[in-house]
Structure 1
Amino acid sequence: MNPVIKALFAFYPPGNDPSTGDGLNTIGFRAPASAAQRTEYAWLRLDHHFTANWRFEGSFGWHRNLADAPLQVDIGGLLRGNILGQAKSVRSDRQFPRNIVAALTGNIRPNLTNDLRFGFTRFYFWRQAIPPFPQVTGTNVALDLAATLLDEPVDVFVQRSRSQGDNQNLYQFSDNLTWIKGSHTLQFGATARIINHYHMREDKVVGGMSALIALLDAGTFFTVPAEWRPPTCGGAIQTNCLQPADISRWNRFYAALLGIIDNVSIMMTRDADFTPLPFGTPLMNKFRYQAWDFYASDVWRVRPSLTLSYGLNYQIQVPTKTLDGRIAVAVDATTKQLILPKAYLEAKRQAALRGAIFNPTIGYMPIRMLGREKTVDTDWNNIGPRVAIAWHPHFEGGLLGRLFGARKTVFRGGYSLTFDRLNLVQLVSIPMLAAGFGQTISVQGPKNARGEPFRIGVDGPAPLPRAERVTPPLIPAVPFSELFSFQADPKLRPGMMHSVNFTIQRELPGNTLLELGYVGRWGRNLPQSVNLNSVPYFMKDPVSGQTFAQAYDLLAAQLRAGVAAGAVTPQPWFENQLPPIATLQQLGLCPAAASTVTSCLASRFASEIVTGLLSNLWLNRIDLFRRAAGLPSFLNSQVQELFFRTDGGLSNYHAFMLIFRKRPSHGLQFDFNYTLSKSLDQVGSVQNSASMFPSSFFPNLDYGPSFFDHRHIANLTWYYELPFGPGRRFSAGHWVDKLISGWFAGGILTAFSGAPLTVVQSSQVFGGGAIFSFGTGAIPIKKPKFGSEVHRGVKGSGGVGTAGDPARRGTGLNLFADPEAVFKNFRPILLSQDTRSGRGVLRGLPHWNLDFSIGKAIAVTEVVKFRFSFDFFNLLNRVEFADPALDLQNPATFGVLSSQFNQP
C-alpha cells in the first residue's frame, strides 16, 4: 500500500455498517451528525381603506434560516476540535429572504374592479463548505480515492465540498381588471418581472473545483493492465479469479490503494479579457432576466345549468443578459459560427451511418464578441389557449334521475396549453460553466521519471496543471485540456404542456360528494440535456459493412463467457477502423502477444468492454490509438463532456381519480382520494440535473416509467369534533362540560405503491458520456415477477446480496427472497439489437404512514380563545425502508435494504 494512503487510512474510524459495503473490501460507517436548523421570521401587514371603493394592502416579510448540513462531514477528526470517529457536520446553509408587497384594489364601477400590485423579493442564499485540502503530509493536493466508491475523512466529492451563493432581487408588477357584463365575467391582466441575479460558485458540478484535487482511480487516463490483476473467471478458470462484473471495481480499488494518479484537476477562472485569475478564485457573474405575461379570459353563464369558460395567455420570456460579460459560447473554431446541438448531432449521425467522421474543432468566445448579450434567443410564440365547460343537469325520474339526480351532478371538462418557465438554472448556472471563463484544467495520467504511472508521495508531490493566458477564441488543446463544458442551446425554447381533464361530481346523502375523473398531461418540447461527445455506436465500417455495435457485442459476449483475450475472434470494425496491430505495437499501445487489434483491445480494456463503459472505450482507448498513429479521432478530443441544455423532450401522464368527500356536519369532515396513474418520460432527471441522455442520438432509449410513477396513491384526511359539552350528545354539567368540551381529533393516512426500480448495468452502456450520463437498465431475460416486499434472514448466495448476510453482521434484509435468481435474470444490453433499455421494469417497496393529532379548544372570553394539540407523526413508529441499489457491478449489495425511507 502507498504510505500516503496508509497515513490517510489512519483517519478512518472502524466500520460499523456491513450492509453498505461490498462484503469484502469496503464497509459502511454510520454515526449521528448535527442537522440542527434555526428558523426566525417576522411579518408585518398594513390594510387601509381610502374610501368605500378603494383599499390598500401592504406587507413586509423577514426570514432567516440557519442550518447545519450533514452532507459534508468530518469523521477523521482532521479539523480543529473534531474527534476521530465522531461525525461532525462541516457544511452550513444560510438563507435570508425578504419581501415587500403593496396592492391597491378599487371598485371603479359596481361591475368593474381593478387590482394593481407591486412585489419585491430579495433572496440571499449562502452554502459554506470546507474546500478540499491535503489531509495528510506527503501530498500537496486533496486526494479523491476512487471517486464515489470511497469517501474521505473529510468529504472531497464536489457535490459535498463546494460553496455556492446567490443574491437575487425580484421586482414584479401586475394589474388585473375584472368586468362583469351580463352573463359574462371578463378578466384581463398583465404581469412584468425583472430579476437581477448574482451567482457565485466554486465548482463545475462534478470533476472541477477551485481547489486542486488528485483523483486516484482507474478508468479514464490510467488503465490497469490485465497482467496486473487476477484472471477473469470463465471456462476452466473458476477459482482465484475475478468475476467479469468485479473487474472495474477491482481496478479502481487497486489504483486508489497504490496512490496512482488518474488526473490532477482544478477549475480555474478568467477575467473578462481572458486573463487567468489566481487558483482558488470562484466563478462569479451578474445577470438580468425579464418576463411578461398577458391574459384575457371569460366565464360565460350560457344557461343556469351550463357555464363555458375560455381564455388566452401570451408569455414573453427575455432570457438572461450578462452584465459582466463573463459568458463564453461554443463556436466552430474555423467559421466562428455558433454550435447548435441538434444540428451538430444530426450531422454526426449522418456521417457515422456512412462510415465518415464529423468532428469540427471547437472554440469558446466571449458572448459579446459575437454581438450577443443574451445566452438564449427569445421565443415569441408562447400563446396558450384554454377552454372548459361545466354542465349541471336536472334529471327527474327514470334511470338518469336515479343516477344523476335533480341538480345533484356536475359534468366538467377542459383543455389547456401552458408553457414552461425558463428557470435560472438554465439561464444562469449552466451558461457560467462553459469553458473559457471557468475552465477545468488538468494533468492527465502523469508518469514518473521512469515512465511509470505516477504514485502520490512515492514519486513526490502531485504534478500541478498550469494556467495560461489566451486570446479569444479559446481553443482547448488535445487531448482533453478541458474536462467539462456546459452550455445552453442558443435556440432553447420553453417546454409546453397539453392538459385534458374530465370529471363527474355527484352529491350523495349525508352531505357527501363523490367525484370520478380522468386527467391527461402531454409534455412536449421539454428541456433535456445532450452530449455532443455521445458515442455513435452505430458507425459503419465502409470496408466490411460491420457496425461498431455488432463488433462490440460479439467481442463482449466472448469476454463475458471467459474466452481468453488471445483467443477472441477478430472483428472487422476494429481491424479496419484502428491502426494496424504492428503500428500499435511499435507505439507501445499493444502487447507483443496480441496478434490482432481485437485481441489487443480484449487484453488491455476487458473491464470497459465487459461492463459497458463505451465512453471511456472511445474517448480514452480507441481515439487514443488513432491519435497516436496520426489519424483523426472519432470524437472531440478537446473536451471530454460537451454538455448542452436543449429542448425536445416528451412525457405522457394519464390518471383515473376518485374523490369521496364529506363536508363538515355533526362535527365530522373527511376527504378520501385515490389515483390510478401512469407516467412515462425519457428519464425525467435529465431535465433538472446535470445528467444526460444514455445516448443523445436516441432520446427514447430510456422511455419508460417516471421516477415518481406510483401507480396507486391513496390519501385520507379527517377532522372530528368530539360530541362532548353543551349542546352536544354528551353533556354532564357546568364544570364537567368545561373539561370535556372542545376536544377534537384528526389524522392523515397516506399510502402508495412502489416506485419503478432499474437494474443498472452501467452509465455508459450506450456511450452517453463518461461522467454525466444516466445509469442504463439491463434487460430482463424473462418477465420479472419477484414481488416488492421486505424479506428477512436473507444470506445471499453466489456473491449476490451477501453484504446483508447476518453471519457477516449484515441485517438479513433484502428486497428479494433469492437475490441471486433476480441478478441472473438480467443480461447486458446488446447494442446491435436492443432499441430500449430495461429502465423501470421492477417496482420498489410500497409505503404507508399515519399521522394523528388530538387537541382541545378553550374559550377564555368571547374574543379570546386558546388552543393546544398533541401531534403524532408516524403514529405507529413504523420503519419504512428505502429502495435498495440494484447494480450489476456491485452484486454483493444487490437488493440489500440498508437505509430508511421515512422519518422515525
Structure 2
Amino acid sequence: LRFSQRKDLQYYQADIAGPSGGNGNGYIHAIQQQAAIGYTWTITPSSLLDVRFGFDHILAGKVPPYLGGPSMQQLYGLPGLPTSSNLTGGLNSQSVSGFSQFGRQTSNPQFQNPTSFNPKLNYSIIKGRHAIKMGYEFVDIRTEVLDVNPLYGADTYAGQFSKPTCAELGQATGCPITSDATSYNLADFIFGLPSTIQLGNNFVSNLRQHVHSLYVQDDYRVSSKLTLNIGLRWEFATPLWERDNNWTNFDPTTNTLIKATNGSLYNRALVHPDYKDFGPRVGMAYSFSPKTVMRAGYGISYSFFNRVGSAQEGINAPQALFGIVTQSIPNGVVPSTFLTTQNSFTTGLNSPANFNPITSNIDYIPADTRWPYIQSWFFSIQQELTHDTVLEVAYNGNHSLRLPIIADYNQAYPNQLTATCNATVQSGCLGVLARRPIPGFGPITWLDPAGDNDYNGLSTRFEHRFSGGLYFLNSFTWSKALGDSEQALEYFAGYVEANPQNIRNLHAERGPTSFDVEFMNITSIVYQLPFGRGRKFGSNMNPVFDAIAGGWELNSINTANTGNPIFVYYSPSTANDVTGLTNDYRGEAFLRPNVTGSGISQSKGAMINNYFAGYTFTTPPAYAPFGNEARNAFRAPGLEQWDLAADKNFRIHESIALQFRSEFFNVINHTNFGVPNTTSTSSAFGTIRTTYPARQIQFALKLLF
C-alpha cells in the first residue's frame, strides 16, 4: 500500500497592486493525492499474476485576489453582477484598448478537479524462448470543471465613441479628424461607454469517461543475437458524457442543438463510440557483436482527450452561457438601448431565459468522430567505442492523424468585391453575422478531426559513462515537425492561435509546427576534481585543507538551438473579419497578411529594430482577407546558454552531510533575444524589446541525512 500527497501553491502578482488590479493569475493551486495497492502471486516458477489498484485525485485551479470581498453592488452601486462570496471581491474586468487591464482577470476563478480509479490485471509466463505478457486495465475518470468566463463580468472599451463627429466640430461631412485611438478609448472608459460587455454563468460540469484496455506481448529471443518484440493492444475509450446530462451538441443536418438523454452511450455523449482502436507493436534488437547493437520498432498508439474545457459539449449552451453584448453608435446617434458601465449588467446577460445562439458559446463535435492515432517508428545503431564510451545514431519519426483542429464551423465568407466594398472603400462591406453560412448562429466551435502532423528526427548521442571522476554526454538532434494542427491552448510570444485562418483551405495551414526546433545540441559534463579525501590526489589530506580544497564537483550544461517558428499576423477590421472574438478556444481573430521580398543578413544591432528586413507586408482587402504568408513562415532568434555549478559536500557525521551549491545560469552573460513583435499593423512591428534572463548566480546550503 502506498499513499502520497503533493501541494503546489503559488501567487502571481497583477500588473497593478490592490483591488483595482488583479488581472494576474492570482492564487494558483495544484493539490494531488495518490494511493495504490498491489498483490503479486507467483503461480509457478515461470508464471505470475500481478493485481493493482490505483487512485488519483487532483484539485487544480486558480482564484483571484480579494475573493469573498464586497460585491460590485456594495462597492460601486453596480447592479446585476454576482453577490455570492465565492465570486465577489475586487474590481471586475475593465479593459481599455491600448492600456493594461484593470480589475480581475476574466478567466478567474477557474478549476478542473479530476478523479480517477484504475484497476489493472497483468499475467506473465515464460515458455522456452518466449516471455509472454497479457493484461487488462480499466480507468474511470470523473472530472469536475468550471470553465465559464467571465464570471464577474467584463467591460471592454475599444469603440472610440467619444471621438467627435464632423457635425459636432462644425465641419462638413467627411472632414478629416485626427485619430488617436488610445486617447478616445480612455475617454470612453472615463465616460462609461463600453464597446463590449460580457458575463458568464456559474456552471460546473461533471464529466465522465471510461477507458478499457487489453494487451498481449511476446518477447521472443530467436537467438543469442536477435530478439523480437511483438504485441497488440486494443483500447476502447468512451466519448465524454456529463453526469446529469447537461450536455449538448450542434447538429449540422438540422442546424439545431440536440441535448443528451438517458439511454445508450450515444444518447448521453452525442458522439458514436469508437470500438476499432487496435494498436500493433513490433520491435527488434540485433547484436552484430558484443559492442554493436541495432534496434528498430514500429507501433500505433491512440490519444484520448481527458483535458476538458469550453471546446467540449459540457461547456456548451444553453447550460453554460457566455453572454456578450457588442455596442455601436451609428452615425453618432446613441441608441436608446445603449448600456453604460453603470447599468451594463442589468439585462440578464447570463440568464438561461436570454439564451441567444448568436452570442453564446456553441460547440460542435461530429457524431462520427474517432480518436486520433499516432504511428511511431525508430531505428538506431549503438556502438561501444571503449569500455566506458558509447556512440549512438538514431532516427525517430511519427505520423499523427485525426488530430482535432479547433475552428469556427460557422466561419463567415469574405465580403464580395463591390463598388462600396473594395480596397479603398468599405462603407458597403457586410459585418461578420451577415456573412455567416448558418443564419441564426454566431461562431460555432468545431472540433474537426482532420489534423495531420509529421515528425522526423535524426539524433546522435555520445556518452562517456562516469569513470575516473568524469561523466560526459553530448546529444544532437536535427529534426522537422510539420502539420496543420496545433494544441488548442498553444500560446506564446509570436504564436497566438491554434485555429486555421480559413476552414475551407486547410492545405494552406500546413507548415512547421510551433514546437519545431530544427537543430538542438546539449552538452552535459560532470567532473569531480581529483583533490581531497577519497580522490586521486590528497587522499590523506589534512582535514582543514580538505574542507577548503577537497571534494569539489563541477557540473556544466551548454544548450544551443535554433528558434521556434513564428508568423506575422494582422488584426482584421470588421470588413476583413471572418469569425469575431469570443470566449472559447478557437484562438484569436488574427489573419496572415500578404508578403513579398526575402530576408537579408543583418547585425544583431540592426535586427532588434527591423527583424523582418527585406520583406514587405500588406494588409489584404476585405474581399480577399487571407494573405499569402504561409503559417509559421519565419523563425524566432535561437538560444545559446551555458550553465555552470560547483558543489561540495562537508561530511559532518557518517550519515550527515552539508552540501554547498553555487549555480551560475548563463555564466558568460550571453544575450539571447526574445521574439519580435509580429503584428504587421502595429507601430512596433518587427522590433525586439525582450531578452531571456541575463546571468543569474545563486548559492544554497542543503542538509543531507
What's the TM-score, normalizing by structure 2?
0.82
Q: Indicate yes or no: 2:376 matched with 1:376.
A: no
Matched, 1:178 2:124: yes
Residues 463-542 of structure 1 aligned to structure 2 (within 5 Å): 464-466=346-348, 476=356, 480=358, 482-509=359-386, 511-537=388-414
> Which residue of structure 1 aligns with residue 281 of structure 2?
386
Q: 1:189 to 1:148 in 2, by over 3 A?
A: farther
User: 2:220 aligned with 1:300, yes or no?
Assistant: yes
Report how far residue 827 of structure 1 moved.
5.9
Question: 1:117 touches 1:174 (CA, 8 Å); kept in 2?
Answer: yes
Note the 1:750-899 alignment, pairs <5 A.
Answer: 750-762=559-571, 769-771=579-581, 772-774=586-588, 775-786=590-601, 790-791=604-605, 815-816=608-609, 818=610, 821-822=613-614, 824-825=616-617, 828=620, 837-857=629-649, 867-898=659-690
Change (3 A) 1:326 1:128: same
Post-superposition offset of 1:822: 4.8
Alpha-carbon shift at residue 139 of structure 1 (Å):
6.0
Given that residues 553 and 832 in structure 1 are in contact (C-alpha distance below 8 angstroms), is that contact kept between their aligned partners in structure 2?
no
Relative to structure 1, the CA distance from residue 871 to residue 841 in structure 2 (aligned partners, 3 Å threshold; closer, same or farther) is same
Any conservation in 2 of the 1:388–1:415 contact (CA below 8 Å)? yes
SS at match of 1:303: coil
Q: Cα deviations across residues 816-850 of structure 1 (Å, max 9, x unaligned)?
A: 4x468456355648976978643222211111222
Shift of 1:135: 11
1:735 aligns with 2:511: no
Q: 1:113 to 1:839 in 2, by over 3 A?
A: same
Which whole-Å CA distance do the structure 1 matches of 2:526 and 2:291 have between them?
A: 25
- The equivalent residue for 1:712 is 519
Match of 1:435 among 309, 317, 320: 317
Cα offset for 1:497?
A: 0.8
Aligned equivalent of 1:265, options 198, 202, 211: 198
1:438-487 Cα distance to aligned partner (Å, 9 max, x none): 22334442779x9525798989743732369879xx9836xx3x343234
Distance 1:553 1:766, change over 3 A: farther
- The code of the aligned residue for 1:694 comes to Q
* Aligned equivalents of 2:333, 2:166: Cα separation in 1: 18
Q: Distance in 1 between matches of 2:321 and 2:312?
A: 13
Greater strand fraction, Structure 1 or Structure 2:
2
Matches of residues 354-365 of structure 1 in structure 2 within 5 Å?
361-363=255-257, 365=259
Do the aligned partners of 2:94 and 2:103 also contact (CA within 8 Å) in 1?
A: no
Q: What secondary structure sits across from 1:731 in the alignment?
A: coil
* TM-aligned CA distance change 1:465 to 1:444, over 3 Å: farther
Q: Tell me the equivalent position of 2:155.
A: 214
Distance 1:154 1:294 in 2: 51
Query: For the structure 1 residues 257 and 518, does the alpha-carbon distance in structure 2 shift closer, same or farther, using more than 3 Å as the test?
Result: farther
Residue in structure 2 matched with residue 445 of structure 1 by the alignment: 327
Bigger drift between 130-139 and 688-697 goes to 130-139
Q: 1:517: Cα distance to partner? A: 1.8
Bigger relative contact order, structure 1 or 2 (CA pairs below 8 A, ≥6 apart):
1
Paired letter, 2:259: M
C-alpha deviations, 1:687-734, integer Å up to 9, x for none? 768843212222232211111111111111221222224564312635
Which runs of 5 or more residues in structure 1 are unaligned?
Answer: 1-57, 204-208, 231-236, 269-281, 331-337, 345-359, 395-406, 538-547, 560-564, 566-601, 606-616, 624-632, 795-813
Report whether the alignment pairs 1:191 with 2:137.
yes
Q: What is the number of equivalent residue pairs in this alignment?
A: 664
CA distance in 2, matches of 1:172, 1:760: 45
AA aligned to 1:150 is F
2:412–2:578 CA contact under 8 A, matched in 1: yes
Query: How far is the alpha carbon of 1:637 from its aligned partner?
Result: 4.5
Distance 1:61 1:368 in 2: 37
Q: What is the aligned-residue identity percentage?
A: 18
From 427, 433, 440, give the equivalent of 1:638.
440
Q: Which amino acid aligns with 2:427?
A: S
Write the distance in 2 (CA, Å) between the matches of 1:228 and 1:508: 86
- Three-state SS of the structure 2 residue aligned to 1:372 is helix
Matches within 5 A, 1:104-183: 104-129=39-64, 133=72, 149-156=98-105, 158-159=106-107, 162-183=108-129
Cα displacement (A) at 1:241: 7.9
Q: Does the C-alpha gap of structure 1 residues 674 and 720 become closer, same or farther in structure 2, counting only changes over 3 Å?
A: same
> Is the alpha carbon distance of 1:824 and 1:172 closer, same or farther for their aligned partners in structure 2, counting shifts above 3 Å?
same
Please give the per-residue CA displacement for 1:329-383, whole angstroms capped at 9, x wherever unaligned: 33xxxxxxx33xxxx6xxxxxxxxxxxxxxx653453545998222533211110
Q: Is the 8 A contact 1:106 1:113 kept in 2?
A: yes
Shift of 1:100: 0.9
> How far apart, in 1, do the equivalents of 2:337 and 2:427 lie?
24
- The equivalent of 1:284 in structure 2 is 204
Q: Cα distance 1:366–1:638, how it changes in 2: closer, same or farther (>3 A)?
A: farther
The alpha-carbon deviation at position 890 of structure 1 amounts to 0.7
TM-aligned CA distance change 1:776 to 1:62, over 3 Å: same
Q: Which amino acid aligns with 1:524?
A: L
| 1:123 maps to amino acid | I
1:762 Cα deviation (Å)?
3.3
Amino acid at match of 2:642: L
Q: CA deviation at 1:197?
A: 2.2
Equivalent of 1:423 in 306, 319, 326: 306
Q: Letter of the aligned partner of 1:109 in structure 2?
A: T
Q: Are the counterparts in 1 of residues 502 and 626 from structure 2 also a CA contact under 8 Å?
A: no
Separation of aligned partners in 2, 1:247 and 1:701 = 36
> What is the CA–CA distance in structure 2 between the aligned matches of 1:391 and 1:819, rounded to whole Å?
50
Check the 8 A contact 2:459/2:477 in 1, yes or no. Answer: yes
Q: Deviations over 1:61-116 (max 9, x none)?
A: 1222221123x4544x446xx9xxxx996821223211111122343322223322
What amino acid sits opposite 1:783 in the alignment? S
Conserved in 1, the CA contact under 8 Å of 2:7 and 2:31? Answer: yes
Residue of structure 1 in register with 2:84 after alignment: none
Q: Which amino acid aligns with 1:408?
A: K
Amino acid at match of 2:405: Q
- 1-side partners of 2:355 and 2:597: how far apart? 50
Name the SS for the 2:244 alignment partner.
Answer: coil
CA pair 524-133 structure 1, distance change in 2 beyond 3 A? farther
Q: Higher mean Cα deviation, 365-374 or 162-171?
A: 365-374
Q: CA distance change for structure 1 residues 504 and 150 in 2, over 3 Å: closer, same or farther?
A: same
Aligned to 1:411: 294
Normalising to structure 1: TM-score of the pair? 0.65
Q: What CA distance in whole angstroms lies between the structure 1 residues aligned with 2:122 and 2:662? A: 43
2:29 is matched with which residue?
Answer: 94
Cα distance in 2 for partners of 1:776, 1:460 equals 35
Partners of 1:451 and 1:835 in 2: CA distance = 35
Look up the SS of the partner of 1:304 in the other structure: coil
Larger radius of gyration: 1
Unaligned runs of 5+ in 2: 82-90, 492-496, 697-705
